[in-house]
Structure 1
């Protein structure tokens, strides 16, 4: 005979896993990622036969934009892992 008194049923939560704060942080992260993508994009060249290295390999496209995108992904990870406060249900 088995002793089932020590076994507990896992508690099921009937609500959503994320709170309003989680969704707010997810939206902020998505906006930061979109801003990084916009920083990485460039304008059209006036002459297609001329390759302008200063435009393509600029600080904004090579350094700043990837940092902003990684920051956005960091915000997304924070939003997913953020635990709700004890007062939220």
Structure 2
């Protein structure tokens, strides 16, 4: 019966292929968007900029808050997906 179903579904193969490609692209985009490493690196660079006097404390606090909020968003996403946070 599986062969009959495959033969009957053959005209739909291009659509399944497009769906597979879209799924892979979405997964890759999500992995990149929810990667905590760039945000952690931005926090390190932000701290370095403050220490070197390139930004003041007010600007530092504003950017730090945004980055920490982003890390929290990533952690929540990872917990919802069942992944271990930070990995």
User: Which category describes the TM-score, using the shorter chain as reference length?
Assistant: 0.3 to 0.5
Please state which structure has a larger fraction of its residues in helix. Answer: 2
TM-score, length basis structure 1: 0.39
- Higher normalized contact order (CA 8 Å, seq sep 6+, divided by chain length): 1
Decide which structure has the larger Cα Rg and report it: 1
